[in-house]
Amino acid sequence: MTDQPRVHDPNASGLMLGPDVNRDVPAGGGQMVDRAVPADSSAFTHEYGLEIEARSQWGYARRRFMRHRLAVASVVVLTGIFAAGIFANYIAPYSYKEIPYITIAGTSVIDTSQILAHPSRQHLFGTDSAGRDTFSRTLYGIRTSARVGIFVGLLSTLIGTIIGGLAGFYGGWSDNLLMRMTDLFLTLPLLAVLLTASKFLDSSTPTTLAILIACLIWTSIARIVRGVFLSLREKEYVEAARAAGAGDLRIMLRHMIPNSVGPIVVAATLTIGTAIALEATLSFLGFGIRPPTPALGALLDEGQEAGLDKWWLVTYPGLLIVLIILCINFIGDGLRDALDPTQRRVRA
């Protein structure tokens, strides 16, 4: 028999197919055929003159999202709010700790006329009991809240995806172990743990507070990812990838995570909202961000100490908290509808 099983060379020459393919190849060389590829693939037209507009998954998702008016409006509003927070140092008329001084008879004293001033042109949201501009402080508060929210969103998504992913992919005892751990975290009284932990850890900076929150609220993402992975594990393309020799990590990173991006993104978005609410709660209770760094929750706390007749101190930061979380939830809803691949109907 002449056609013996060819010895497989794991190097480049093993890539070659048959005589037809490697005819241009110098003998013994592992060079691939250098074939000119048309640079402009968009010049392609179907041979029968039929042009089919190809849409990617993301194209469909974007179209569906754009139809969700509330979500689109929320994106606009939220972008505006977050941009105002991020660029607070350019927008804010005052610094967040600027106390108005006037000079009387050669000595500098606090301008008492500026303390607890009503909203005016000079101070859009009024001033607080130290005479600081509430509008400026609110802008900086948004910055703090956004930073905490986004950081928690990223970190808890990372933790949740890893734990949920491993549990769903391997199943069996590792699933049991990881999910019971998740259950344990879910049973913890969130606020009590946060309050205790923030007393022992120095949680006065946004970063430490964010890490603390993220370590407690990754559980919902872990459960979602586990569920998605459990169903993806049975997919034929996962089996096909396994049959092609792909290892566990490759299958998870290349096949399962990209196919669970939808639910993960939705869950991550909603987590940002939860995190901002939690941060506000903690700061309100005096356990979160420490003064003088303004946070929306801390502003509320200062406001209620000043008395309810100083309505501007609680109204504006409070409204902003509500608005931010509402927007995030609407965006989450919009994403959920847009990223659900089973929904492909086209509304006019």
Partner 1 sequence: MPEPLLSIRDLVVEFSTEDGVVQAVDGISYDLYPGETLGIVGESGSGKSVSTMSLLGLIPQPPGKVVRGEALFKGTDLLKISKKELRHIRGNEIALIFQDPMTSLNPVLKIGAQIDEAIRTHHPDEKDDRIKERSIELLRTVGVPNPDRRYEQYPHEFSGGMRQRAMIAMSIANSPSVLIADEPTTALDVTIQAQILQVLKKAQDETQAATILITHDLGLIAELADRVVVMYAGKVVELGDVHTIFESPRHPYTVGLMESLPKLNADDDWLRPIPGQPPSLISRPPGCPFHPRCFLSQGRLRCREEEPTLRPIGGSAHLTACHFAEELEGHTGPLVEPVGAGV
Helix (H) / strand (E) containing 110: strand 107-110
Among 50, 54, 105, 308, binds partner 1 (CB under 8 A): 54
Closer residue to partner 1 in complex, CB, 206/263: 263
Residue 101 pairs in a beta bridge with 110
DSSP 289: S
Q: Are 309 and 49 in contact (CB under 8 A)?
A: no
Closest distance to partner 1 from the beta carbon of 153 (Å) = 22
Report the alpha-carbon distance of residue 163 to residue 223 in Å, rounded.
9
Contact call for residue 73 and partner 1 (CB under 8 A)? no
Closest distance to partner 1 from the beta carbon of 26 (Å) = 15
CA 73 to chain centre: 18
Closer residue to partner 1 in complex, CB, 15/66: 15
Closer residue to partner 1 in complex, CB, 183/248: 248
Which residues in 206-235 contact partner 1 (CB under 8 A)? 235
Closer residue to partner 1 in complex, CB, 234/309: 234
Report the alpha-carbon distance of residue 233 to residue 230 in Å, rounded.
5
Closest distance to partner 1 from the beta carbon of 175 (Å) = 14
Report the alpha-carbon distance of residue 5 to residue 3 in Å, rounded.
6
Closest distance to partner 1 from the beta carbon of 267 (Å) = 18
Report the alpha-carbon distance of residue 79 to residue 279 in Å, rounded.
20
Closest distance to partner 1 from the beta carbon of 245 (Å) = 4
Closer residue to partner 1 in complex, CB, 34/309: 34
- Among the listed residues 86, 71, 60, the one whose alpha carbon sits nearest the alpha carbon of residue 142: 86
DSSP 201: T
Binding mask 18-47 for partner 1 (x = CB under 8 A): x-xx----------xxxx-xx--x--x--x
Type of residue numbered 113? S
Q: How many CA atoms lie within 13 A of 211 on its CB side?
A: 9
**Token pair recorded at residue 115:** 């303390």
Closest distance to partner 1 from the beta carbon of 299 (Å) = 43
Q: How many chain residues are in contact with partner 1, going by CB under 8 A?
A: 48
Among 49, 50, 56, 105, binds partner 1 (CB under 8 A): 56
Closest distance to partner 1 from the beta carbon of 204 (Å) = 42
Quick one: which segment of 15-23, 76-84, 204-212, 216-224 binds partner 1 (CB under 8 A)? 15-23
Contact call for residue 90 and partner 1 (CB under 8 A)? no
Report the alpha-carbon distance of residue 324 to residue 332 in Å, rounded.
12
Closest distance to partner 1 from the beta carbon of 147 (Å) = 31
Q: Are 186 and 222 in contact (CB under 8 A)?
A: no
Binding mask 237-276 for partner 1 (x = CB under 8 A): x-xxxxxxxxx--x---xx--xx-x---------------
**Token pair recorded at residue 333:** 């809803």
Percentages of the chain per state (helix, strand, coil), in multiples of 5: 65, 5, 35
* Site residues (vs partner 1, CB under 8 A): 1, 3-6, 8, 10-12, 14-18, 20-21, 32-35, 37-38, 41, 44, 47, 52, 54, 56-57, 235-237, 239-247, 250, 254-255, 258-259, 261, 341
